[in-house]
Amino acid sequence: MNILLIGSGGREHALAWKLQQSRFIENIYVAPGNAGTALEHKCKNIPIDALELERLGEFAQQKNVELVIVGPEDPLVMGIRDHFDTLNIKCFGPSAKAAQLEGSKAFAKDFMSKYKIPTARYGTFNELNNAVNYVKKSRFPVVIKADGLAAGKGVLICQNEVEALTALEEILEVKRFGSAGNQVVIEEFLEGEELSFIAIVVKNKIFPLASSQDHKRRDDNDMGPNTGGMGAYSPSPLLDDDLNKRIMEKIMEPTALGLIKEKADFHGFLYAGLMIDKQGEPKVLEFNCRMGDPETQPILMRLKSDLAQILLSTFEENPEPVIKWSPDTALGVVMATKNYPYDYPKGQAILGLENTSDDAKVFHAGTKLIDNVVEAHGGRVLCVTSLGGNLKEAQTKAYKEAQKIKWQDCFFRSDIGSKGLKH
């Protein structure tokens, strides 16, 4: 069968790499893909942007595509699933209405409030003066979020009133995040440790994937600006059976049932970014309507089952996908270009990719293949991922491989996984 995979990041390369291992798959068309997907077995990059819904639909019909898998959030929020529904082509991803859980922070917070899903206290504002008044009565630090999609960069942690007022002005007045900042959500700052809980959700059925932990801040020791993620590992030592049960009962099940009540059809990956406090209680920081990046890379390194079979089975009347995991730990280190998440140089040749060993996988994100040379064209460029018998072994292996790769302005955090070693 033929598959169309939408997107061009590290998550999409990991999905393509796992899908091409399936004996059911003949061709994987990746739109638009990156240098990594261009080099994978059974994969072919297609020069169609992820937001060109009409062209994607026409291409899928021409190539007899039986399954569309959507990687990034933008086309989901735009309604790509609804578009493929009209063409009677299976599309793994939530409807536009359900994707508002990620597309609008205000929608997500109001939804959580309505269905009593634990999350931080908040206020929503589209006018500067009211937002300023709210901040002046708040305890610091506070978290200020642009309401719309901002590629993981629209979340600002403000330590004092001056920082908060500057952030509000930049988002609401200067439009640093464009129309994504027409509205802001101001939240209390939650303390604890972050956990990524990703599941396949099909209406009221929830099939959790392996747990993982992401590292959102750019610099070592969780310092510096928020990013899309600088590295991740799976499984998370935070998640035991008791916490898993509470997350399912307090967060995932009420969310799935709430979406049904809202007539918002969810058929895809639901990602709950959670904060686990010192008492072990989970609260939702954010919802995403797709797999995380870079969590996908270590999670799929551990998946022993056929991913194509899993996703296809969700379209059956009573889905019961078989999902088996390696007991090993996987850890991925994101290699980025200096100055990310701000403006960064592009077009530098990446050296050393051929030197990495077989027990590691280098997943591409912001790369392009130009005249057979892999070049860095993004902020987050690669995710060097390794399996190990435990977290320390996976960490050691991944960093050993990352040291073999370089380009002129590359950098990476040196402490991915270290917080997990403290458990």
Domains and CATH numbers, the chain: 2-92 (3.40.50.20), 127-182 (3.30.1490.20), 193-313 (3.30.470.20), 329-422 (3.90.600.10)
Q: Which parts of the chain sit beneath pLDDT 70?
A: 152
Determine the distance from the C-alpha atom of residue 241 to the mean position of all C-alpha atoms in its chain, rounded to a whole number.
Answer: 24
DSSP-derived letter for residue 303 is: B
Residue with tokens 């009573």: 318
The closest alpha carbon to 12, from 52, 68, 59, 66, belongs to 68
For residue 267, the cross-strand partners are: 202
Instruction: Report the C-alpha gap between 51 and 138 in whole angstroms.
Output: 39
Cis amide bond preceding 327, omega within 30: no
Looking at residue 266, what is its pLDDT? 98
Instruction: Report the C-alpha gap between 224 and 230 in whole angstroms.
Output: 11
Q: Which residues neighbour 23 within 8 Å (Cβ) at sequence distance 6 or greater? A: 306
SS3 302: helix
Token pair in block for residue 397: 């292996």
Pairing verdict, β 410-411 and 367-370: unpaired
Q: Quote helix, strand, coil % in the chain, to nearest 5.
A: 30, 30, 40
| Residues recorded for the chain | 423
Helix residue ranges per DSSP H, 230-349: 241-247, 253-261, 296-302, 307-313
Instruction: Report the C-alpha gap between 418 and 253 in whole angstroms.
Output: 32
Q: Which residues neighbour 270 within 8 Å (Cβ) at sequence distance 6 or greater? A: 94, 101, 198, 199, 200, 201, 206, 252, 255, 256, 287, 288, 289
Helix residue ranges per DSSP H, 63-137: 73-78, 80-86, 100-103, 105-114, 128-136
411 residue type, one letter: F
Looking at residue 397, what is its pLDDT? 97
At 218-270, the pLDDT tens digits run: 999 999 988 889 999 999 999 999 999 999 999 999 999 999 999 999 999 99
Q: Which residues neighbour 174 within 8 Å (Cβ) at sequence distance 6 or greater? A: none
Measured CA angle at 363 (ends 78, 268), to 5 deg: 35
Looking at residue 228, what is its pLDDT? 87
At 60-92, the pLDDT tens digits run: 999 999 999 999 999 999 999 999 999 999 999
